[in-house]
Amino acid sequence: MHRVNLNPISFNQQVFEHASFGIVLISPDGLVLTVNPAFERIFGYTQQEIDGTRFGDLSHPDEEIKTLHDIRELMGPANLEIQLEKRYIKKNGDVLWGWLSVKLFTDDSGNPLYYIAQIIDISKQKESEQKLQETVERYTSLKKYNHDAVISFGLDGRIINGNSMAEKLTGYTIETELIGMELANLIGQSNVDRILAKALYDSTIEQGIDTLVTKDGETVEVITSIAPIFVNRKNIGFYLICKDISEQKRLLLAKEAAESTNKAKSEFLAMMSHEIRTPMNGVIGMTDILLETTNLDDEQRSYLEVIRKSGDTLLNIINDILDLTKIEAGRVELQEETFDLRECIKECFSIVSPRADLKRLELSCTINHDVPDYVYGDVERLKQVLLNLLGNAVKFTPEGSVSVKASLSKEDPSVLAFTVSDTGIGIDPGRLAEIFEPFAQIDNFMTRKHEGTGLGLAISSKIVTMMGGKIYAESDGESGSSFTFTIPLKVMAKPQAQESRDDQTMRQGNILLAEDNPINQLVMTKMLEKWGHRVTPVLNGQEVIEAVRGGHYDLIFMDLHMPVLNGLEAARAIKEEHGENSPRIIAVTANALKGDREKCLAAGMDEYVSKPVQREAILQLLNRYLN
């Protein structure tokens, strides 16, 4: 141990031994000479462990002032006693905050003899300060970054402070205008008086403060909260917290307007569907009846074929426009079931093959071996997409081939991919994204050679998106094009075959026809009578109810839109009155929107068919219910 001669005036042995703070004697070169018991207790080192070590080694590694040399630099030429807060590392590794006081003692010539350092443990104090600082910072951050305006005010009704949102909401600057202002300027004197008088015990006060006046005199709608400020358990003021709901009100109004527009759009769509399909039913239906007449010469038959073809073309255009509008209005939903994928593709080929044969195009289909036979999805919507793509491929391919490939995606085996390729006129690569927009045409409108509305790809894109997939096109603009779309693969087991029954000849039925449109009534009557059925036409739902009461009917073909009593109300009344003895009721309507079929079934109807009615659809229903 190093020995030094201590000045008895400067070094009191009794103080050294019994002081509550740590005292350490340090040599001029920074070595610990001796420490008192309090130092041992504070740092955890014994006298023997600390003797001869460097005082600077006790410092925390992150401290800027570590060594005795650093301390000496702070003392300067005058050898001033210095005091500072410092962090140390105790023997057990804990951090110690200490208040350090260091004094240098010299001989008569001014040469250093030793340093005496006193260290007071202020760790608990620093911990309290740190917690307080964290609380202040949390409060400041909460106030500063709060999305609501926060304004503090005293019991005199004057504003103490506010956050940036208060400045933004009111239009006043915090430092020069808001601080010291009467709060009444913002919310009115009566509201301020009520807060100061009752807010401590009445939480309903804030509910009456729903507006705030800005610097520009504008009134802003707000939701208000009030919180008291307590210091030493004494109420010194309040916080006024205001949320601007003007934007929410605007968004709500916009939402209501959008919903109203969407409702009007849906109602218009339903009306257009009814008004357009109803006369089309007459055109196509009467054409079918005339074509079945035996005494037509070739010229008359050719004229009727032109009418029928034109009617079909017009109906396709109408269906495309209504289909796109229904999808955009959210009036379409998927009808998913288990189906035979290969049979689905085969049916699509059977539809386009006559047109392909006329152009001598080669049709081919490749289905990879890992593609399952049966999948779960909306088979009709899948057919719609495939037929759109196949129809376009045949239309825009003067010679060569059209092919379909079905495979599992290489990137994700849970995705089923379909690619329709052709050797046709191709598509300008710069227009590959544009062609999926409504009314886009592959060839120029003024010079185009092909019919169509330009809606098929737009409808296909929206259907694929509804099914959770994607669609895109590829082409170099010269040697044909290919369209690929994906859908999530939902594999299902093969459905159990229904028990077969012996074929039975359709019996003659007694049919009640509820239809107020005279043309459609004539079309349906003639169609059913040509198949040998007895038909009783009525004009409204009330007549339907009375007819069922007075006679026996096997089937009722029921229009939905009729005077006096509509088809839905008539169906409900018949089911309630006759129960299981009711005739089978089939809805025949020009509506073809999402939810229409469900409404019919909920009213007690047995099936639903849309106008223009197809002969095949009517025959299928007659075979089902009259066998």
222-270 pLDDT per residue, tens: 989 898 888 778 888 898 888 888 877 777 777 777 777 666 666 665 6
Max mean pLDDT range (84-93, 200-209, 325-334): 84-93
- The model's confidence at residue 592, banded by pLDDT at 50, 70 and 90, is low
Mention every residue, 6+ apart, whose C-beta is less than 8 A from residue 312.
284
User: What average pLDDT score do residues 536-540 get?
Assistant: 93
Mention every residue, 6+ apart, whose C-beta is less than 8 A from residue 445.
none
Max mean pLDDT range (70-79, 251-260, 312-321): 70-79
- Stated as kind and residue range, the H or E segment containing 537 is strand 534-538
| Beta-sheet pairing, 584-589 with 555-559 | parallel
Q: What is the predicted pLDDT for the residue at 448? A: 44
- Is the pTM higher than 0.85? The answer reads no
| Beta-sheet pairing, 22-26 with 112-121 | antiparallel
- The model's confidence at residue 522, banded by pLDDT at 50, 70 and 90, is confident
* pLDDT > 70 fraction of the chain, expressed in percent and rounded: 83
Closest to 371 measured CA to CA, from 497, 486, 496, 495 = 486
Model confidence pLDDT, tens digit, residues 551-566: 999 999 999 888 899 9
Domains and CATH numbers, the chain: 13-128 (3.30.450.20), 146-244 (3.30.450.20), 337-488 (3.30.565.10), 510-626 (3.40.50.2300)
Mention every residue, 6+ apart, whose C-beta is less than 8 A from residue 125.
97
Cβ neighbours around 202 below 10 Å, total: 13
Residue 136 pLDDT exceeds 60: no
